[in-house]
Amino acid sequence: MNDLKNKMLGALTWSSIDRVAQQGVQFLIGIVLARLLSPTDYGLMGMVMIFAGLSYVLVESGFNYALVRTKNLTPQHTNTIFYTNLAISWALYLLLFFTAPYIAQFFNQPELTAIARVTFLAILFNACYLVPFALINKALDYKSLAKINLSATLLGGSAGIYMAYAEYGVWALVVQQTSYHFFRIFGFYYYTKWKPALTFRWQVIRDYFKFSSHIMASSVLTIVFNNIYTLILGRLYPIKQVGFYTQAYKVSETSNFTFLSIFTTTYNLFAQIHDQKERLVRILNTIQERAALIVVPITTLLIVTGHPLFYTLFGEKWLPSVPYFQLICLANLLIPVYQINIHALNAIGKSNVSFGIELGKRGLILASILVGIKWSILGLLAGYAVSCTLAWLISCTEIKRRLQISLWLQLKQVIPALLISAVLGIFTYWVASYVTNPYLQLGTQVGVFLGSYALIIRLIFPTLWQQAFEFIGKFFRKQ
């Protein structure tokens, strides 16, 4: 038990380091690119990434989750999935290559044809490393994963910045995206030492399909609905507005994707103890409470600091993105906590239930689009925020049903973080309203919010405060 606990703590720590470091580097690269490129460039890339993101999910097909969950993994499992991923990636690339002109025609942007055809090469690169990626996740080897991700981010970002300085416009973003996946191939094979062999069994696909198909369907829904606003805006609004939305979404995802990636490790843990219900429930409760105390305040701080943050980092030309950014952050407030519930359900084999929850969530989003579109982009995003909150509550009811964790207990794990963050957000906004300089305003808001929050945690959760410092100390002494 202690061995698994220590392994999981180490995995969470390295996963945190990985995501914070990678997103930090991407954020810095993004600042440079945003100052060199135009909203139109981001709008064009946003349109292409709708199809690229969907393709990544279809190529993976949920099989990686199945590999991680397999207790007695054999070369037949890994080789079969490798060749399946590769075949799907080539089929999708060829389909997208020949339909690229129609994508360009749909958005009325002729230059999208060439942009799409080059960007979609990343689909082939991605397929090449999916099995090694699953093996690293199964081993909870997030230290190696951190090195791979950071190296690929730095190399891909550097290539993108060079292209931007050379005034290649949107092609800087294309090169950044494709080279990132290309460089990841070398990293995964170097650290896993895995090599494909010429073995393939249809039985592996049949055994995995029932479980993985629900994972894939949920992921497809996520990608489609994450990009549905880009699709709507690209069709109904000027491309510059798409650029403002794309930048707002990209910046908000810096924190949200970091949290989601960190807590993805919970699936790997839950998968190892999925047949030990009491233990799983105990760990799930602990993780939910700790996750809320981290995610909610940081997301609230981003909402409060939206205006000075965008002005300081990207310049005045990007200020129209701020309201979009704040509403997307509001929608993301409980998404990582929601995702932990989904991971728990998938780990106990209830991928059909998690798919049903995702389906319900998308239904709520569709309804909010039909209502919110009357009030322009802000109305759409406000509806999105409401839909995400309701989806979290639905996931809580399924956790109650499948794992017998009361709804009140689940709410108690989140309510303290929400109340503390709301009060501090209002207080911070009021204090900073007396500061007119955007740079000083940003510094004041961050300092007041984080300082006050640290003090509150120390007073209200002294045990958690002490455990955090003890764990940090142990981690650095081991390094």
CB 261 within 8 A of CB 18: yes
Q: How far apart, in whole angstroms, are the C-alpha atoms of residue 169 and residue 39?
A: 11
* Burial of residue 449, with CB atoms counted within 10 A of its CB: 0-12 exposed, 13-18 middle, 19 or more buried: buried
State the pLDDT at residue 268.
67
- Lookup result for tokens 């979009």: 324
Maximum Cα–Cα distance across the chain: 68
CA dihedral 166, 170, 175, 180 (to 10 degrees): 120
State the pLDDT at residue 7.
57
451 Cβ partners below 8 Å, 6+ apart?
none
Q: How many other C-beta atoms lie within 10 A of the C-beta of residue 400? A: 15
Q: How far apart, in whole angstroms, are the C-alpha atoms of residue 98 and residue 103?
A: 10
Q: How far apart, in whole angstroms, are the C-alpha atoms of residue 195 and residue 85?
A: 15
Q: How far apart, in whole angstroms, are the C-alpha atoms of residue 452 and residue 380?
A: 33
454 Cβ partners below 8 Å, 6+ apart?
none
State the pLDDT at residue 74.
84
Please count the helices (runs of H) and the strands (runs of E) in the chain: 22, 0
Q: How far apart, in whole angstroms, are the C-alpha atoms of residue 235 and residue 228?
A: 11
State the pLDDT at residue 475.
45
Helices 351-372 and 376-403 cross at an angle (nearest 10°) of 160
Token representation of residue 251: 């910046």
Token representation of residue 126: 């991605």
First to last CA, the chain: 23
Nearest to 380 by CA among 225, 250, 253, 220: 225
Mind listing the pLDDT tens digit of every residue in the chain (479 residues)? 455 555 555 556 666 666 677 777 887 898 889 888 888 888 888 888 888 888 888 887 777 777 877 777 888 888 888 998 899 899 999 999 999 999 999 888 889 999 999 999 999 999 998 889 888 877 777 788 888 888 999 999 999 999 999 988 899 999 999 999 999 999 999 888 888 888 888 888 888 887 777 777 777 777 777 777 777 877 777 888 888 888 898 888 877 766 766 666 677 677 777 677 788 888 888 888 888 888 899 999 999 999 999 999 888 888 999 999 999 999 989 888 898 898 888 888 887 888 889 888 888 888 888 887 777 788 888 888 999 999 999 999 999 988 888 899 999 989 999 999 999 999 998 888 888 899 999 999 999 999 999 899 888 877 776 766 555 555 445 54
* CA distances (Å), origin 182, targets 52, 176, 241: 15, 10, 31
Q: What is the DSSP string of 100-139?
A: HHHHHHHHT-TTHHHHHHHHTHHHHHHHHTHHHHHHHHHT
Three-state secondary-structure class, residue 207: helix
Kindly state the DSSP code that residue 206 receives in the 8-state scheme.
H
State the pLDDT at residue 185.
92
Q: How far apart, in whole angstroms, are the C-alpha atoms of residue 300 and residue 70?
A: 38
Kindly state the DSSP code that residue 61 receives in the 8-state scheme.
T
Token representation of residue 404: 């017998």
State the pLDDT at residue 8.
57
For residues 15-54, b (16+ Cβ closer than 10 Å) or e, as one string? Answer: bbbbbebbbeebeebbeebbebbebbbbbbbbbbbbbbbb
- Lookup result for tokens 């990132």: 180
